[in-house]
Amino acid sequence: MPHDQSAVAFLCSLDGVILRILRDDLQLPPCFSPGATFADMVEEPSAERAREFCTAVRQRGAVFDCALTVSVAAQPTALHFAGVVQGDHLLVMAARSADALTDADDGLVLINHEQTKALRSAFKELSLHARRQTVPDRHLYDDLSRLNNELANLQREMARKNAELGKLNEQKNRFLGMAAHDLRNPLGIIYTLSEFIEADAENLNGEQREFVTTIKDTSQFMLALVSDLLDVSSIESGRLVLDRRLVDLPGLIQRNLALNRLLAARKAITIEFDPPPTMPTVSLDVGKIEQVLNNLLSNALKFSHRDTRVTVELTVVEGLATVTIRDQGPGIPAADLPKLFKFFGKGSVRSTAGEQSTGLGLAIVRRIIEGHGGRVWVESEVGAGTTVLFTLPLANALLTDGVHL
């Protein structure tokens, strides 16, 4: 790539004191001399950024294409600096560049570990070569500038690839949502018809009843999976909307527990909840928080043994309502805990009665709770059960309907 051949290259200490000037085609002012600091050579508005550049090079190993303003021929001029750690020094070069790239959030272009190693090695060789020269070496800048421009091209390519990946991800989300939506209706029909047939079980023999039960359970699981996939599609595309209302949270939990106690009865599990006598209303989306409660309670039931207890608690501390769901199941190994809130992040623990799981529920729970301004986490120990907690901010004057995640 063609580039302006006017360049500056120098060695400085790790804290930015100029030690040796390797090249100065721009004939910078006297402030650019050994003993001065890197921040001294730039215009005052860029001084703090120059110090940040030195810090970033020290911390990251290499930084490229940082734009700083320097006085050239008494005129403020933008130069694009690159630096790399070389032993106890920083090797820095600068040049004019019409093609500079500053895609990073802080304007400092970063590179990965392998690229850093390769470029650092190249810089080291170039610097050693420069020290042997009695006059400024034209090839030093040419090679440094070539490396900087090659990195800029790499960053452009990465930005282009990221944009393509973003478009592909949007297409994937649209396809996922359309497929899940189209599957939901026929699956719902299969599930409903299997319930009708099961209700007329006296006209079926044992094998037929077993077939119908399998059809019903499988279609129910697939319906849950399709619903979760629709939620994932909405979350990833940013279309999940919270319809917030002022809600009596203890009453909402009571109603939800009444439904889940029917499922708990199949395994002779007791669900206990002692609501607080008084509590402020909470701003939340009723349907979404019901979804959270159903998911967490169904997990507690799946991983609980027969004749055990699931305890639900509700407390208020410092403007936050905290819901705690505690079971007496086998517990979760510490290595599995980081996987729990990731999409398809299943752990090694198996349900106590062979219940199926999509691996999506807790990831969706996390996004819903965080969308409400709360957080969710798990505390568990193998052999001592599992506790899941989530918080919700109490209602305030900033209640907003239809909040987009």
Indicate the SS3 state at residue 81. Answer: strand
Give the H or E element holding residue 139: helix 138-199
Of 290 and 182, more confident = 290
Same domain, 263 and 400: yes
Is the residue at 295 inside a domain?
A: yes
Same domain, 127 and 197: no
Of 146 and 133, more confident = 146
Count how many domains the chain has. 3
Using alpha carbons, select from 79, 67, 99 the residue that is nearest to residue 32. 79
- Put simply, whether the predicted model's pTM sits higher than 0.85 gets the answer no
CA 83/CA 116 separation, integer angstroms: 11
CA 219/CA 183 separation, integer angstroms: 11
Contact 4, 96 (CB under 8 A): yes
pLDDT tens digits along 93-105: 887 753 333 333 3
pLDDT of residue 233: 64
**String of b and e for 78-102 (b: at least 16 CB within 10 Å)?**
ebbbbbbbbeebbbbbbbbbeebbb
pLDDT tens digits along 51-79: 889 998 888 887 877 888 888 877 888 88
**Mean pLDDT estimate for the chain:** 76
Is the residue at 2 inside a domain?
A: no
Reported as a pLDDT band with limits 50, 70 and 90, residue 139 is low
Q: What's the Cα-to-Cα distance from 334 to each of 49, 343, 345, 364, 382, rounded to whole Å?
A: 43, 18, 14, 21, 8
Q: What is the CA radius of gyration of the chain?
A: 31
Domain boundary pick from 104, 132, 162? 162
Contact 224, 294 (CB under 8 A): no
Which pair of tokens denotes residue 50? Answer: 């120059």
User: Worst-scoring range by mean pLDDT, 2-6, 32-36, 316-320?
Assistant: 2-6
Residue 327 has pLDDT above 50, yes or no: yes
Average pLDDT value for residue range 228-236: 66
Same domain, 226 and 340: no
Average pLDDT value for residue range 323-341: 89
pLDDT of residue 44: 83
Same domain, 96 and 72: yes
Q: How many separate helices (H) and strands (E) can be counted in the chain?
A: 7, 14
Reported as a pLDDT band with limits 50, 70 and 90, residue 10 is confident
Same domain, 232 and 335: no
Is the residue at 1 inside a domain?
A: no
pLDDT tens digits along 340-353: 888 766 666 666 65
Using alpha carbons, select from 207, 285, 277 the residue that is nearest to residue 244. 285
Using alpha carbons, select from 214, 163, 225, 166 the residue that is nearest to residue 191. 214
Same domain, 115 and 29: yes
pLDDT of residue 9: 83
Same domain, 229 and 373: no
Domain boundary pick from 181, 207, 237? 237
Domain of residue 200 covers 165-237
Same domain, 231 and 261: no
pLDDT tens digits along 177-210: 666 666 767 777 887 888 888 887 777 888 888 8
Domain boundary pick from 213, 237, 261? 237
Same domain, 26 and 87: yes
Residues pairing with 322 in the sheet = 315, 391
CA 375/CA 240 separation, integer angstroms: 17
Same domain, 335 and 249: yes
